[in-house]
Chain A
Amino acid sequence: MAPLAPKTGDAVFASIDRVNAELFTLTYGAMVRQLLTDLEEVDEVNKQLDQMGYNIGIRLIDEFLAKSNVSRCVDFKETADVIAKVGFKMFLGVAAAVTNWDAEGTSFSLVLEDNPLVDFVELPDTCQGLHYCNILSGVIRGALEMVSMKTEVTWVRDMLHGDDAYELRVKLLKQVPEEYPYKDDE
C-alpha cells in the first residue's frame, strides 16, 4: 500500500473530534490547584505535572502517528518541525515555532505565543516558581521516548513569569537505533 501523504496540522485538526477549549483550560486549572493543595511544594507540583505529561506523551504518540500519517522522521530537525507544526496544532489547536538550533543540531527551542492551558491564568506571588504548563515538557519527552529519542526538556521562557512567549528547550540526549520492541525477529 502506498504510504499516505503526511497531513498538515490544520488538516488533522479539522478532521478530528474537537471540544470547547475553555472546558480544557478550566479542567487543567482545577487540576493544578488540586496538585498545589495536595503537594504544597511548588517543586513537587512541577515534578508531578511533568510525570503526568510523560504518561500522556507515551500514549499520545500513537494517535499522533496514526492521524497525521507522519512517517518516521529522517532526522531530529524533521522531528522538531513535525512536533511544532503538526503535533501542537493537532492537539492544542495552536501553532508552535522551532528556533535556535545549536551547532550540532541536537538541541532546539519550541516557541509558543498562544497556549490554551494558560488562558485566564495569573500566578499568585506564592507560586512564582511554578511551571504551570509543565505538563507540556513531559508530553514531549514521553512522546519522543517512544520513537527512540531520549530528550531533556526545559523551560526557557514562561509568559506567566512575565516573559513574552513560552519557550521550551528540547535537547536530544540519546538516539537509540531503530528497534521494534514488539518484534521478535530471529
Chain B
Amino acid sequence: MIVCVAVVGHQNNPLYLQSFTAADDALKLHHIIHCSLDVVDERVNNPKKSGPTLNETFLGMLYPTENYKVYGYLTNTKVKFLMVTTDLEVKDADVRSFFRKFHAAFVDAVSNPFHVPGKKITSKIFAERISGIVKSFGSVTAG
C-alpha cells in the first residue's frame, strides 16, 4: 500500500506532499522523504559518466527501511517524484507504470497557466488524479 507520495523541485523545494495514512506517521514519512532526497542527490551528482543510469528517469528503489520502501523518479527538468510504500513485494513494472501516470498528471498540472513554476502545486484535479493512481497501484492494468 502506498503511504506517501511527494514531488520535489530541482532545488529540493517541496512542490507536493500527500500522505495516505494515519496522521501520526506523517512526521516519520517526511523524514524518510528527506533521506531519500539525499540518495537521489548522490545518484544525480554521481561523477560516473558511463552507464545508462545517469540519464534515466526511473531511479528505482532508493531507501529501504524495515517497514517501508521508497522509490524515486527524476524528470528531465530535475523534478523528483518519490513514492513510499509498505508493500515489501513490489513489482518493478508496477512502479514504473505508477510513475508514468504520475508524470502525466504532473505535466498537466504544471501546464496550467496559473501554476507558478517552483511553487507548490495547488491543483485539486492533480490531487484527485494522484489519489486515483495510488489507489489503483498494483492492480492489473487494463490496456
Contacts and interface: CB of A to CB of B under 8 A. Distances in A.
Direct contact of A and B (CB under 8 A): yes
A127 B123 CA distance: 14
B124 to A, nearest CB: 7
Contacts of A119: 111
A143 B76 CA distance: 44
A172 to B, nearest CB: 34
Interface in B109-143: 109, 111-114, 122-125
Nearest to B115: A122
A29 B108 CA distance: 13
A34 B123 CA distance: 20
A181 interface: no
A32 B25 CA distance: 42
Nearest to B123: A122
A134 to B, nearest CB: 15
Nearest to A119: B111
Contact of B125 (A29, A122, A127): A122
Contacts of B113: 26, 29-30, 32-33, 120-121
A177 interface: no
A119 B125 CA distance: 13
Contacts of A14: none
Contacts of A73: none
Contacts of B125: 122
Closest 3 CB pairs of A and B: A29-B113, A120-B111, A124-B114
Interface of A: 26, 29-30, 32-33, 119-124, 127
Interface of B: 108-109, 111-114, 122-125
